[in-house]
Structure 1
């Protein structure tokens, strides 16, 4: 079922793109106007993709930093627990 959804989305996007191309070809604009329009849309798309990539990069860096902090905290907790266990063992051994 998941494959069907992806296939349907792909067909929808392909149809959308084809419809846009046909609309541009039959629009009452000169060739130069159409090329300029397409150039502007492509530039907007590229700029949008660059902005989104930068946002994702920043989010990934923030998540990596949080992960490092969490790992450090957990390591300290585990080390403290191990040390407490060793100390308890030593104390119990002395009592015997």
Structure 2
């Protein structure tokens, strides 16, 4: 879970930094006056905290969604496991009862019947 959120955060952070560097280089080589370029850079720098906050919120949202999905998957698996254990216990109890019935002393003993025939 954490690796996925961490990877997304690194990707988005790299995207932000790369985009910022690319924009700055583009502005420096653009055919504008120094004053215009500085104004554009200042505006871009002012917008960076907002952009970073939005990216951080998005990464957190995606991590939360992933965590919720993983928790539901774990809960579903636990439910299926508990049901399987209950079915196994029921089958085991039924088999034990069948075995107890087939070996019960209520059936006549063959040795006793043979001895009575000999007498």
| TM superposition score normalised by structure 2 | 0.55
Structure of greater relative contact order (alpha carbons < 8 Å, 6+ residues apart): 2
User: 1:59: how far off?
Assistant: 1.5
Give the alignment of 1:69-88 within 5 angstroms.
69-88=72-91
> Structure 1 unaligned runs (5+)?
1-12
Aligned length: 80
| CA root-mean-square deviation | 2.5
Structure 1's consecutive aligned runs of 4 or more residues displaced over 4 angstroms after TM superposition are 15-19
Give the distance between the partners of 1:29 and 1:59, measured in 2 at CA: 41
Corresponding residue number in structure 2 for 1:67:
70
More helix by share: 1
Equivalent residue for 2:32? 27
Unaligned runs of 5+ in 2: 1-17, 100-119
Residue among 41, 57, 60 paired with 1:57: 60
Q: Normalization by structure 1: what TM-score? A: 0.65
C-alpha deviations, 1:33-80, integer Å up to 9, x for none? Answer: 433321111222332232122012112102201211221111011011
Q: 1:54 to 1:39 in 2, by over 3 A?
A: same
- Name the SS of the counterpart of 2:34 in structure 1: coil
